[in-house]
Amino acid sequence: MKTILVTGGAGYIGSHTVLTLLERGYKVLILDNLCNSKLSALEGIQKISGSNPIFYEGDINNRILLGTIFANHPISGVIHLAGLKSVDESQSEPLRYYNNNVVGSISLLEEMLKAKVDAFVFSSSATVYGESRTTEYHEDMVTAPINVYGRTKLMIEDILRDISRVNPHLKIACLRYFNPVGAHLSGLIGENPVGTPNNLIPYIGQIAMGRLSRLKVFGGDFPTHDGTGLRDYVHVDDLAMGHFLALEYLECNPGMLVVNLGTGKPNSVLEMVATFEKVSGKKIPYDIVGRRPGDLAEYYANCDLARVVLGWQPKHGIERMCEDAWRFYSQLGAQSS
C-alpha cells in the first residue's frame, strides 16, 4: 500500500482528493493548519470511507514537523494543496502570501528531497495565465498573472521546473485548476470556508441557508450573452480524480507535466445563480455592481492535454455541481439549526 502525504488535506479540494485516494487503496497522511478548513471534513472522510487518515495539525513552514513526518512514514508521493488562496486578500497582504505559499513550498520540497521522495503533484491555478486576448486557455500560453495569488502559484511552478532540471529523477505534475464547485454526493464534505466565502457557490449557499442576504454580481456589462462574466466551473470530484490520475501517471514518467483541469464549457454568473435556484428551490437575491479591476469577460480551459496524457475527463455538468453543493449546504444548515 502506497503512502501519500496530502498537504491541505482537510480543505475543500484536499478532502475530496484524500477520499478518492483512500477509495483506491492508498494510505493517506494529512498535514493541515486548519486556517481555512475544519476538522468536520476529517469526520466526513471517515464516515464515507470507513478509514481514518493520519492527521498532523501544522504548517508547511514547520521544518521540524515536516522532517518528523517524512522520517516516520514511507511516503511515496506528495500532493501539495496547502496555501492561502484569496485573490483579494493576496493583494492587501502580499508578504503573508509569499511567505506562506512560496517559502512554505520551498520548505516542503527541501524536506521531501532529503527524504528521497520523488513524486510531487502541485495544486496550481488558472490565475497564472492572467489577462489574455484569447478566451480558451492552453498550457503553452504565455503566463502573466495579474495578482499576488497567481504570482505565488507561478513562482512555485518555476521553482519546480528548475529543480526538476537538476534532479532528473523527480516526477512532477502541476494541475492548473479553473473554478472548483460542487461537493461529495453524500453531502458530508464540501466547501465550507472559515469566515465569509470568497467564491460564488459557497456564497450562494450561505444565502440559500439564510446566513447572508444578497449576492453582489461584479459586472453586468461584459460582452457576453447576459452581461455577466463567463467562467469554467469544474466539479470538485472531477478535480480529485485528476490528482489520482496524475499520481498514477508519475509512476512511470519523470520530468514535469503541466495540465489544465476544467470542463472547457464556460457558464455565466447568472446561469450559475439560476441553476442553483432550480435545484434548491430557493430564491437568490442579487445586485449587479461594478466590475472589479482585472475581471475578464470570459475564459475557459482547453483540457486536451489532460485527456490525452492522463485519461482525465470531467463527468459532471453545472446542474450536478449545484445539486451536490446544495445537498451539502442544506445538511450543514440542518446540523447548525
Using a cut of 0.85, tell me whether the model's pTM lies above it.
yes
Whether the per-residue pLDDT at 337 is higher than 60: the answer is: no
- Cα separation, 263 vs 316, in Å, equals 9
pLDDT in tens, 214-252: 999 999 999 999 999 999 999 999 999 999 999 999 999
- Cα separation, 275 vs 282, in Å, equals 10
Whether the per-residue pLDDT at 185 is higher than 60: the answer is: yes
Whether the per-residue pLDDT at 336 is higher than 80: the answer is: no
Can 149 be counted among the known catalytic residues?
yes
User: What's the alpha-carbon Rg for the chain, to the nearest Å?
Assistant: 19
- Cα separation, 206 vs 271, in Å, equals 18
Give the pLDDT of residue 228.
Answer: 97
- Cα separation, 24 vs 29, in Å, equals 15
Cell of 318: 453545472
**Which comes out higher in pLDDT, residue 102 or 133?**
102
Rounded to the nearest 10 degrees, the angle between the axes of helix 236-250 and helix 12-23 is 60
Q: Are 248 and 119 in contact (CB under 8 A)?
A: no
> How far does CA 285 lie from the centroid of its chain?
27
- Cα separation, 191 vs 182, in Å, equals 8
- Cα separation, 122 vs 176, in Å, equals 9
Cell of 210: 439564510
Domain ranges of the chain: 3-181+233-261, 200-231+264-301+316-335
3-state secondary structure 140-196: CCCCECCCHHHHHHHHHHHHHHHHHHHCCCCEEEEEEECEEECCCCCCCCCCCCCCC
pLDDT in tens, 60-80: 999 999 999 999 999 999 999
Whether the per-residue pLDDT at 317 is higher than 80: the answer is: yes
Give the pLDDT of residue 334.
Answer: 62
Whether the per-residue pLDDT at 138 is higher than 90: the answer is: yes
**Catalytic pick among 149, 177, 233, 329:** 149
- Cβ neighbourhood burial of 74 (10 Å; 0-12, 13-18, 19+): exposed
The set of long-range contacts for 22-28, using a CB threshold of 8 Å and a minimum separation of 24, is 22/49, 22/51, 22/53, 23/49, 24/244, 25/1, 26/1, 26/2, 27/1, 27/2, 27/3, 28/3, 28/4, 28/53, 28/54
Q: Which CATH superfamily is domain 200-231+264-301+316-335 in?
A: UDP-galactose 4-epimerase, domain 1 (3.90.25.10)
Q: Which residues contact 135 (CB under 8 A, 6 or more apart)?
A: 230, 266, 297, 298, 299, 300
- Cα separation, 74 vs 2, in Å, equals 8
pLDDT in tens, 70-114: 999 999 999 999 999 998 899 999 999 999 999 999 999 999 999
Instruction: Judge: domain 3-181+233-261, CATH 3.40.1000.10.
Output: no
195: left (phi over 0), alpha (psi -120 to 50) or beta: left
Task: Tell me how long the chain is.
Answer: 337
Per-residue pLDDT, averaged over 254-266, amounts to 98
Alpha-helical segments (H) within 50-86: 63-72
Backbone angles phi and psi of 181, in degrees to 5: -145, 175
Whether the per-residue pLDDT at 294 is higher than 80: the answer is: no
